[in-house]
Structure 1
Amino acid sequence: MTIVSPAQVRDAAAPASAIPITSGAPSERRLTGKILFLLAGLAALGALATNIILPAFPRIGASLGVSSQELGLTLSSFFVAFAFGQLLVGPLSDRFGRRWLVLGGLAVFTAGSVVCAFADSLPLLVLGRVIQALGACAASVLSRAIARDLFDGEALARALALTMIAMAAAPGFSPLIGSALDGLLGWRFTFLVVAAFGMVLALHYATSAGETHPADRRTSLAASAVASAYGRLAADPRFVLPALSVSLVIGGLYTFFAAAPAILMSELGLTAFQLGLNFATTVLIVFAAGFLAPRLAHRWGQRTIGMVGLFIALAGSLLLLTFAAAPAFIPFTAAIALYLLGMGLINPLGTAIALHPFGRQAGLASALLGFLQMGCAAVGAAVASILPLQPTVSLAVILTTGSALAILAFLPVAMRQPKAEVQA
């Protein structure tokens, strides 16, 4: 079915160029460039705000008179605020709709970026990062919720896969961009660039997207109802098993990003610029996986390809574990490439499987999924830092354990025959 033009069908409260959410069933809508840019930008905002400042840590520390270790507070505070903020944003968006939560979140993110740009002390910089995180978490949660509002089934998996392809550039290329900005204009300007991106994204959303969560699908905001809904989700295997599988693998990805500087620079002797190039090459692998995932799922099913992705991730983890005691660049790169390929398959497919039965609570389900992902990331990074092992061995142990647990969690999902699911 061909989607009609915005001039023919539009939300009365939306601008003329808004996404025509009323035409066609979710599975019949097509993913346009405008929607892809919106979903990818919202999803990538948190990663962009974090990875782009990593090369500037030495200059930030020198400017504020603190050590790089103390600057770690700017990361941990961001992740904590990001994780818990999602739990509030999700039910708010299910009650009041996506539009004002997206615009409000982007406004908060922009304000936090400006605070960071003009911070003259570590506490003020940490405060700015917390404000950033509260805005970015709204964008991240609602990117998945909007995708679930607009798409269903294979269309949802395709939308999430293409969104992942587009957003992969954020953690891949942002360290290179951050390094260039820091060298040319200083670290403060880097935060202003991030703030400008938040403003551009808000303008794009305001002029191209209508409300995707109609009033007849709104849910109660009573604290008891929200707590009960989270409890039901956490106990529902249709959600928690695929969500946990995705979260364990994504947690491993964040652990890799946290451990990569110590491994690639300290152990393997790469320069900061070479480190940025290495991150950038990961984008190509995620691109490939994102293109493959919906095509393979269309032929063999989401559950089957999701399980294949998990086994590929486990194979990469075991390869890394094999060479971890005497790390070398080529085996390390090959192992991480395998892991990223597997992650690129399970991430969109597992997310689609987890969100599919919960169209009426897409914001809340997306929030709990995001919380699980950030929780696994925090645990992985913390364990990697306290294990009495060299960085490569610690990373290998964490990736292997996470991949194995993800397979165990996803196994009942893969064994269940796909069928039409009732919208919860």
Structure 2
Amino acid sequence: MLPRPWLLPVILGLMSAFGPLATDMYLPAFPAIAAGLPADPAAVQGTLAAFFAGMAAAQLFYGPLADRLGRKPPLLLGLAIFTLASLGCALTRDIGTLTWLRFGQGLGGCAGMVMARAIVRDLAEGPAAIRLMAQLGLVQGLAPILAPSIGGALLSFGSWRMIFWVLAAYAALLAVVVVVALPESLAPERRRQDGPAAILRTYLRLLRDRHFLGHTLAAVLPLAGMFAYIGSSPFVYMELFGISPQRYGLFFGANALGIMVAAQTVARTAKRIAPGVLLRAALAWMAASGLVLLGVATTGIGGFPALAALIFAFVAGIGAVMPLATTLAMGPQGRHAGSASALIGTLQFGGGAVAGALVGLLHTGTAVPMAAVIAACGVGGLVALRVLVR
């Protein structure tokens, strides 16, 4: 029996929130971590890349496991791994160990994201799936709004280690909620018994599917642009423009609020306007925002207010693009929903890791590298959809 209609998106949103929580909550603690371990800023930023790498790698494992065993067993395994890794992060004494443990957090945390998408596909299709995905995004959108403020508040009461104690408690409590309140959504007769060769063939088939790949890249590339913003924002906002950690949290939260508004707008209009039309419009908006952002970062016209406004415009588009592109990509997959969800997640976080590394390689002490990567990702998502999906 399914939980109450209002409770299901809450649980799925909490499952999907591991990425933003484990990323955004500790961003204000970067200086404290660098001073406490001790480590240079580049090494601390490397812990973020390690988390993205873990999130990308493990999803290819969880997807087939979910199609074989159901959604709950792999989810509980991931929650256990995330809890243990978070406890290790809270106790570590050197930056190298913290980096590996952050990789472990990614290995566990991605299970919630894979299972949430697969459960939506199990339970709904078409506009109903878009609405459920948007409701999930509404709950998930609270995470990046609250996470930096929570991290900053925890820093005012104690050390940066408290952030990881809280993350461990979050995962442990969610495991209890899943056991008690979330039923299995994949019936035994729908489960697959594929071996490694069949799993590999499934992934290769998905990558050759123009409909799946085009819609997946339409989600992956703009999201990579957002990851470039997340990784660069501590430097651009706090060091380059002198924004205080408290105000930084407000700007970060405002961008997440834009995601929530866009997601709910899509949920309301999906019945009246074809999802493909909405997706192309949202991608065009993000491409235009990214290109204008690059112009502002290069010329300095408008200063920080213009830069922040354009970042808001770009990031808000994620709230529309993600539910639309993900639903359209997964709609035809049926019994391969777990594998399709896993591949989407792997490409998303792999793209995020590449975008973050690219910003670091292009570092010039200005906002231009961040803006250039964001613009390229925004344009790339639109081009991928137009070229691959006919």
Q: How does the TM-score come out when normalised to structure 1?
A: 0.88
| Paired position in structure 2 for 1:6 | none
**Distance change (3 Å), C-alpha of 1:108 and 1:59:** same
Which stretch shows the higher mean deviation, 363-372 or 311-320? Answer: 311-320
1:406 aligns with 2:358: no
**Alignment map for 1:104-123 (pairs within 5 Å):** 104-123=77-96
1:47 aligns with 2:1: no
Give the C-alpha shift of residue 412 in structure 1. Answer: 5.5
| Paired position in structure 2 for 1:170 | 143
**2:215 is matched with which residue: 242, 248, 255?**
242
**Alignment map for 1:214-293 (pairs within 5 Å):** 214-293=187-266
Give the C-alpha shift of residue 52 in structure 1. Answer: 0.9
Give the C-alpha shift of residue 122 in structure 1. Answer: 2.3
1:339 aligns with 2:314: yes
Give the C-alpha shift of residue 289 in structure 1. Answer: 0.2
Point out which structure has higher relative CO (alpha carbons under 8 A, 6+ apart).
Answer: 2
Distance in 1 (CA, whole Å) between partners of 2:44 and 2:327 is 36
Distance in 2 (CA, whole Å) between partners of 1:392 and 1:121 is 30
Distance in 2 (CA, whole Å) between partners of 1:316 and 1:323 is 11
Structural RMSD (CA): 1.6
| Paired position in structure 2 for 1:351 | 326
| Paired position in structure 2 for 1:73 | 46
Q: Per the alignment, in what secondary structure is the counterpart of residue 305 of structure 2?
A: helix
Map Cα deviations across residues 256-277 of structure 1 (whole Å, 9 max, x no partner): 1111122112222211111111
Q: Where in structure 1 do 4 or more consecutive aligned residues deviate above 4 Å?
A: none
Matched AA of 1:298: K
Give the C-alpha shift of residue 299 in structure 1. Answer: 1.0
Percent identity for Structure 1 against Structure 2? 34
**Distance change (3 Å), C-alpha of 1:337 and 1:121:** closer
Distance in 1 (CA, whole Å) between partners of 2:274 and 2:106 is 36
**Alignment map for 1:372-391 (pairs within 5 Å):** 372-387=347-362, 389-391=364-366
Contact 2:64–2:339, Cα closer than 8 Å, also in 1: yes
Which stretch shows the higher mean deviation, 87-96 or 266-275? Answer: 266-275
**2:114 is matched with which residue: 134, 141, 144?**
141
**Distance change (3 Å), C-alpha of 1:124 and 1:322:** closer
Query: What residue ranges of structure 2 are gaps of 5+ in the alignment?
Result: none
**2:161 is matched with which residue: 171, 188, 191?**
188
**Distance change (3 Å), C-alpha of 1:72 and 1:390:** closer
Distance in 1 (CA, whole Å) between partners of 2:108 and 2:363 is 36
Paired residues, number: 388
Contact 2:213–2:388, Cα closer than 8 Å, also in 1: no
**2:124 is matched with which residue: 136, 148, 151?**
151
1:92 aligns with 2:71: no
Give the C-alpha shift of residue 185 in structure 1. Answer: 2.1
Give the C-alpha shift of residue 390 in structure 1. Answer: 4.8
Distance in 1 (CA, whole Å) between partners of 2:315 and 2:230 is 12
Distance in 2 (CA, whole Å) between partners of 1:294 and 1:412 is 26
Contact 2:256–2:316, Cα closer than 8 Å, also in 1: no
Map Cα deviations across residues 266-307 of structure 1 (whole Å, 9 max, x no partner): 222211111111101112211210111122222111000000
Contact 1:308–1:342, Cα closer than 8 Å, also in 2: no
Give the C-alpha shift of residue 413 in structure 1. Answer: 6.9
Q: Per the alignment, in what secondary structure is the counterpart of residue 270 of structure 2?
A: helix
Matched AA of 1:158: R
Distance in 1 (CA, whole Å) between partners of 2:181 and 2:317 is 34
| Paired position in structure 2 for 1:130 | 103
Matched AA of 2:145: G
Matched AA of 2:243: L
Give the C-alpha shift of residue 177 in structure 1. Answer: 0.7
Give the C-alpha shift of residue 389 in structure 1. Answer: 4.2
Distance in 1 (CA, whole Å) between partners of 2:17 and 2:366 is 27
Distance in 2 (CA, whole Å) between partners of 1:66 and 1:335 is 33
Which structure has more helix as a fraction of its residues?
2
Q: How does the TM-score come out when normalised to structure 2?
A: 0.95
Distance in 1 (CA, whole Å) between partners of 2:250 and 2:325 is 29
Larger Rg: 1
Matched AA of 2:90: A
Matched AA of 2:30: F
Which stretch shows the higher mean deviation, 91-100 or 382-391? Answer: 382-391
Map Cα deviations across residues 142-165 of structure 1 (whole Å, 9 max, x no partner): 111111111111111111111112
Query: What residue ranges of structure 1 are gaps of 5+ in the alignment?
Result: 1-9, 11-18, 21-30, 417-424
Distance in 1 (CA, whole Å) between partners of 2:381 and 2:294 is 17
Distance in 1 (CA, whole Å) between partners of 2:89 and 2:236 is 29
